[in-house]
Structure 1
Amino acid sequence: MSLVNEPAGDAALLAGLEGASVQPGSRWMRPVEAVAAALLVGIIGLLLAGVVSRYVFSVPVIWIDEVASISFLWLAMLGAGMAVDRSEHLRLTVFLNLLAPERRQFVATLGLVLMALFLAVMLRPAIDYASEESYVTSAALNIPMSWRASALPAGIALMLLLALVNAFRGVKLAHLLVSVALIAVVAAILWQVGPGLRTLGNWNIPIFLVGFVGLFLVMGVPIAFCFGLGTLAFLATTTSVPVMVMIGRMDEGMSSLILLSVPIFVLLGCVLDATGMGKAIVEFLASLLGHVRAGMSYVLLGSLFLVSGISGSKVSDMATVAPALFPEMKRRGHKPKEMTALLATGAAMADTVPPSIVLIVLGSTAGVSIAGLFTSGFVIASVLLVVLALLARWKARAEVMDGIRRAPMKTVGKTLLVAAPALVLPFLIRSAVGGGVATATEVSTIAVIYAMAIGAVVYGGIRLPRIYTMLTETAALSGAILLILGTASAMAWALTQTGFAGKLVGLVQVMPGGWISFMGVSIVIFMVLGCVLEGLPAIVLMAPIMFPVARSLGINDVHYSMVVVTAMNIGLMAPPIGIGFYIACKIGNTPPDEVMRAIWPYIGALFIGLLLIAAFPFLSTALL
């Protein structure tokens, strides 16, 4: 069982679902890549100029946010097209890979045709949406908003073209024709039974928004298109809502100014990997703790904790830490399956450490203070760090310590001196956002400039060709992420319009056990979603439904956020479906079947930490 065709690049955010090699884009996509890279540089420059003008000269430049917003949507859509070209859209292939080769090829072809169908149907409404936006004028620049909205039909057309190219390249014509015929038959059936389906009311939710989406996930259709296809079928078959409304919801879900920090933190992960800042932190902790029993396990966990405070990416974290520590851990008698299990659960532990992209998206989607989430995230990660460290200490009772000596203080001091500039960064990010000094978007820009400057002065810098590659990787990955957020937002809107959320509130309020029962149900739901969907789409999909219910029961927003994020991360690393589990195995170069038997005590430790977090709200709120 494995994942294929996922974002690559050891240092990108799901930087690329982690550890796979980067697939360069097609030669004829070079102009698109250049434009996307230029847009990313322009966004960083604009945001940096805004920070300087606001905090240094006390003169806010109003039009900067508008230009950044326009550039951001174009970056997202062009990046989504690049991700189609590179086959980097996130998808679940565990079940697809269980099929015989011939059937697997047919199902993959069917998935491509479904992608093309969704894009073809959405193209005309996207054009109409951009046309409608021409009647709206921007506040600062006084230009038609169609300049911005035109990114949607342009990106959809690009993705459609690339999907068709992929559909006709390397697939069997018979598979292609059967796929088209099968989809046409299903569409005709849905059209015929549509009037009857409308009478079912909310029973259409499990049919379309659970059944169809689940089927597409099992088929290996990229997650963004699973959400899009399910929502499109639901709206077109059971409602009279025009499809253009869905385009508007996608626009809203992927273009919030708060989300500007997503591509910049993705780029920061690339910088971390390229400069060796993360490696410097690992070497310092190894010199400080490597001589004690379970010391290398402590170093691994501590490194994940600190490095995640720079990169914002589980992928970057694991890809930075594992190569530096695994050889020494093997020498001390650690088994590869145990090391990989600790790596996976350690990455799950560290996902609440700022700058967590999951926390940024959660704050944007659920309306929760990002400053509060960043402040609480450190404490929650510390709780999980302690339970994992205790388990690691118990498992290391037979560790081979022959010949292990404490590093001389001179060595510790030297590694500290090298690591100090990198160690400053996670605390800079946390204190700036948590203290309300700057927004997450502003801090992400400052962090990238700081990392680039420190990397050039202390760690040898980055060659220009590598910088350009990082920019294009970031654009493609960000596009894949933001398209998921857009289609998940459309699906979440469709769910809320059915009145499902209101009925859920009423059901929960009469459920025995009150907030405790709801918290237990939430843990189960988000662990399951974490297994199947990964954190970002699960958050965007469920936050609009679950957070109002939590508020109605008096649960603090930040407390609930920490519980659901931790539950999702446990699900993400839980075999046999958890996506992050296979990523960790890939990075640790260990067969999943071996790690599957070793990871359960570590999952259990995380679950104990989760129960503590859920039962004692002050762990999440004490520092707010």
Structure 2
Amino acid sequence: MQTASEFAAPLETGAPAARSWLATADRVLGFIVEIPAAILVVAEVVVLFSGIVARYVLHKPLIWSDELASTLFLWLAMLGAVIALRRGEHMRMTALVARLSPDKRGLFDALAVAAGLGFLILVAVPSYHWAYEESFIVTSAMEISNAWRAAAFPIGVGLMIAFSVIRLATRTSLAHAGLALVLVAAVIAGFWFLGPALKPLGNYNLLIFFVGVVGVCVFSGVPIVFSFALATFGYLALTTRVPTMTLVGRMDEGMSHLILLAVPLFVFLGLLIEMAGMAKAMVRFLASLLGHVRGGLSYVLIGAMYLVSGISGSKAADMAAVAPALFPEMKERGAKPGDLVALLSATGAQTETIPPSIVLITIGSVTGVSIAALFTGGLVPGLVLAIGLCFVVSRRYRDDDLSQVKRAPLSEILWSFVIALPALALPFLIRAAVVEGVSTATEVSTIGIVYSLIVGLLVYRQFDWSRLGTILIDTASLSGAILIIIGAASAMAWGLTQSGFSRTLVEIMTHLPGGAIGFMAVSIVAFIVLGSVLEGIPAIVLFGPLLFPIAKLVGIHEVHYAMVVVLAMGLGLFAPPFGVGYYAACAIGKVNPDEGIRPIWAYMLALLIGLIVVAAVPWFSIGFL
């Protein structure tokens, strides 16, 4: 995985005056995009929380709140995607590219930008036509033209084109930029000329575009969103009679589910609890409780990730909140940096089902499974995997010398518990609000945000107003990167469905040897692989609508199946060498990835055994529904 800072560092190329002018344009245009994106995050919180108050407290529902939230949401998603592109934060699979020489890596980095630029140019006119068609629709509650909402797409595409050109001009060498543009243009032109020969191939085009094009792009380091989008655009434009404008509509439909509004709000909540001191309070309490036992701080890391995941729903936010609070003390006690990031990465996979997991929210949006049921079903599977990790920790640290470590007195434990209580209460508050019907799964994050603001200001008094703007922009960037992938994956899944692939897949999967057991085993292997290559959200958007009905058909409960595939994807996402979650853990822990590869395998084996146990015992997933 390549970090934004690595890819964003400008090279000393091009005329200094031109670089200076373009750098100024980049900053000004970036400022123009970031300010409204930050305002949109705040606006979504205000609109949704106002809806809760009006409905539950005043008993006067705001009939326009969902419609306004949906309109603002597409703007937030598109502007967030623009910011992510500018900052180099779109998800890429760079495990292979990173092994190349610096010169070749520079070329592939330029290719990644050029490929994205190629798609954006191809889709610019269809996105304008789509927005124009939407202008004839009038919204039911606010009675305004839907063009106010739809305009977000062509404007977002135009801004991404501008930032892609600036990136190529200022952050790659002239030779690399020129060669990358020529290669991308040649490939697009080649496919265009081959169009008449592709149509008679029928479903073999699925292999060409959705296996060949996607595979080459992903492993070449092209951002996943553009890998999916290029393959889908090519398939629709060259092998079908479907207007390319349909691709824009399907992307909009995929990324505009109101349920997905929980994604930016929970990302914001995760960053907020770290800034408000709530995560540190929980970690201190667990450390006072378990810090004196062998491997105690490792148990604290496992427990803290479980609790924080129940608040933020964002793995990056979870790890960033917990690691800085624990790693310094763990290193002082003799823990090796590689062991620390190995366990941190393993806990990231272990807590994928802890509500309010963004992956669970995505599953609910694309499959129709109750999010409340998913939230309830996700708690115990995470505990099962935590027990497996604790067993590995007990074996690994059984010979620790604790002669210099003093046990915390009961008074200190009780006091740290009192301090941590407001933070510990938040996961229960979030779950109770959904279960009791106070708010929907989309709205509940705003309750957590308001609660965290109050607790941070009045209880912990660590609220840093100067960081708020940065947090809002980070929220928009990460959310945009996630949501536009969901849009591209939704369009690709629609293309696969229209081709008849879904019927073929149903036929194959329902006739696997072993019935439900065989289907579950194949699903586990498939989602581990998909999780490592595509990350969790694109994989679930692509295959969730296809596989969940099959699971139900062979007798597997939807919530049980959801827990298994989420944990399988988490295993792939955080397992080296391809799992990008592992490299994110290394970046947060500031540890060389090579140091963690050897110690992580014991944890991965424990997670795999735990996953098999969860798959074999449905009660762990559905026992409390």
**Shorter chain as normaliser: what TM range?**
over 0.9
SS of aligned partner of 1:440: coil
What is the Cα deviation at residue 213 of structure 1? 1.0
Farther off after superposition, 175-184 or 303-312: 175-184
Matched, 1:217 2:232: no
Partner residue, 1:536: 537
SS of aligned partner of 1:397: coil
Partner residue, 1:551: 552
SS of aligned partner of 2:439: coil
What is the Cα deviation at residue 595 of structure 1? 1.1
Rounded to whole Å, the distance in 1 between the matches of 2:378 and 2:481 is 25
Deviations 1:89-146 (A, max 9, x none): 1212221122222222222222222111111111111111111111211111111111
- Please show how residues 472-487 of structure 1 align to structure 2 within 5 Å: 472-487=473-488
Rounded to whole Å, the distance in 2 between the matches of 1:190 and 1:86 is 31
Rounded to whole Å, the distance in 2 between the matches of 1:183 and 1:314 is 34
Partner residue, 2:610: 609
Farther off after superposition, 348-357 or 191-200: 191-200
Structure 2 residue identity aligned to 1:381 = G
What is the Cα deviation at residue 293 of structure 1? 2.4
Partner residue, 1:124: 125
Give yes or no for contact 2:510–2:519 (8 Å, CA) kept in 1: no
Partner residue, 1:335: 336
Rounded to whole Å, the distance in 2 between the matches of 1:169 and 1:590 is 29
Give yes or no for contact 2:90–2:481 (8 Å, CA) kept in 1: yes
Rounded to whole Å, the distance in 1 between the matches of 2:113 and 2:328 is 41
Partner residue, 1:156: 157
Rounded to whole Å, the distance in 1 between the matches of 2:289 and 2:451 is 26
Partner residue, 1:230: 231
Rounded to whole Å, the distance in 2 between the matches of 1:185 and 1:153 is 25
Rounded to whole Å, the distance in 2 between the matches of 1:601 and 1:78 is 41
Rounded to whole Å, the distance in 1 between the matches of 2:71 and 2:386 is 41
Matched, 1:490 2:491: yes
Partner residue, 1:560: 561
Partner residue, 1:523: 524
Matched, 1:253 2:254: yes
Structure 1 residue identity aligned to 2:264 = P
Give yes or no for contact 1:567–1:610 (8 Å, CA) kept in 2: yes
Give yes or no for contact 2:74–2:149 (8 Å, CA) kept in 1: yes
- Please show how residues 280-295 of structure 1 align to structure 2 within 5 Å: 280-295=281-296
Deviations 1:69-106 (A, max 9, x none): 11111111111111122222121222112222222222
Partner residue, 1:424: 425
Deviations 1:523-547 (A, max 9, x none): 1111011111211111111112211
Q: 1:105 to 1:237 in 2, by over 3 A?
A: same
Partner residue, 2:40: 39
What is the Cα deviation at residue 435 of structure 1? 4.4
Structure 1 residue identity aligned to 2:276 = T
Structure 1 residue identity aligned to 2:562 = S
Give yes or no for contact 2:2–2:92 (8 Å, CA) kept in 1: no
Structure 1 residue identity aligned to 2:424 = L
Give yes or no for contact 1:340–1:595 (8 Å, CA) kept in 2: yes
Structure 2 residue identity aligned to 1:555 = I
Q: 1:386 to 1:25 in 2, by over 3 A?
A: farther
Partner residue, 1:30: 31
**For structure 1, which runs of at least 5 residues remain unmatched after alignment?**
9-23
Deviations 1:498-540 (A, max 9, x none): 1111111111222211111111111111101111121111111
Rounded to whole Å, the distance in 2 between the matches of 1:534 and 1:5 is 21
Farther off after superposition, 109-118 or 325-334: 325-334
Deviations 1:371-395 (A, max 9, x none): 0110011111111111111221122
What is the Cα deviation at residue 6 of structure 1? 8.6
What is the Cα deviation at residue 191 of structure 1? 2.5
SS of aligned partner of 2:58: coil
What is the Cα deviation at residue 248 of structure 1? 0.5
Farther off after superposition, 563-572 or 160-169: 160-169
Partner residue, 2:276: 275
Q: 1:328 to 1:54 in 2, by over 3 A?
A: same
Give yes or no for contact 1:371–1:436 (8 Å, CA) kept in 2: no
Structure 2 residue identity aligned to 1:214 = G
Partner residue, 1:20: none
Rounded to whole Å, the distance in 2 between the matches of 1:492 and 1:171 is 34
Rounded to whole Å, the distance in 1 between the matches of 2:217 and 2:43 is 37
Partner residue, 2:15: none
Partner residue, 1:58: 59
What is the Cα deviation at residue 462 of structure 1? 2.4
Partner residue, 1:143: 144
Matched, 1:350 2:351: yes
Partner residue, 2:590: 589
SS of aligned partner of 2:171: coil
Give yes or no for contact 1:191–1:237 (8 Å, CA) kept in 2: yes
Rounded to whole Å, the distance in 1 between the matches of 2:347 and 2:7 is 21
What is the Cα deviation at residue 33 of structure 1? 1.3
Rounded to whole Å, the distance in 1 between the matches of 2:226 and 2:308 is 32
Rounded to whole Å, the distance in 1 between the matches of 2:298 and 2:113 is 43
SS of aligned partner of 1:199: helix
Partner residue, 1:21: none
What is the Cα deviation at residue 622 of structure 1? 0.6
Rounded to whole Å, the distance in 2 between the matches of 1:534 and 1:25 is 30
Q: 1:305 to 1:162 in 2, by over 3 A?
A: same
Give yes or no for contact 1:354–1:429 (8 Å, CA) kept in 2: no
SS of aligned partner of 2:378: helix
Partner residue, 2:198: 197
SS of aligned partner of 2:356: coil
Give yes or no for contact 1:3–1:93 (8 Å, CA) kept in 2: no
Structure 1 residue identity aligned to 2:161 = L
Give yes or no for contact 1:6–1:91 (8 Å, CA) kept in 2: no
Partner residue, 1:580: 581
Farther off after superposition, 562-571 or 453-462: 453-462
Give yes or no for contact 2:3–2:89 (8 Å, CA) kept in 1: no
Structure 1 residue identity aligned to 2:190 = I
Give yes or no for contact 1:3–1:94 (8 Å, CA) kept in 2: no
Q: 1:28 to 1:135 in 2, by over 3 A?
A: closer
What is the Cα deviation at residue 184 of structure 1? 3.1
What is the Cα deviation at residue 485 of structure 1? 0.8
Matched, 1:168 2:169: yes
Matched, 1:186 2:181: no
What is the Cα deviation at residue 174 of structure 1? 3.1
SS of aligned partner of 1:292: coil
**For structure 2, which runs of at least 5 residues remain unmatched after alignment?**
9-24
Structure 2 residue identity aligned to 1:603 = M
Rounded to whole Å, the distance in 1 between the matches of 2:299 and 2:463 is 30
Rounded to whole Å, the distance in 2 between the matches of 1:4 and 1:31 is 20
Structure 2 residue identity aligned to 1:112 = V
Q: 1:439 to 1:458 in 2, by over 3 A?
A: same
TM-score, structure 2 normalization: 0.94
Q: 1:429 to 1:401 in 2, by over 3 A?
A: same
Partner residue, 1:442: 443
Structure 2 residue identity aligned to 1:345 = A
SS of aligned partner of 2:351: helix
SS of aligned partner of 1:405: coil
Give yes or no for contact 2:118–2:184 (8 Å, CA) kept in 1: no
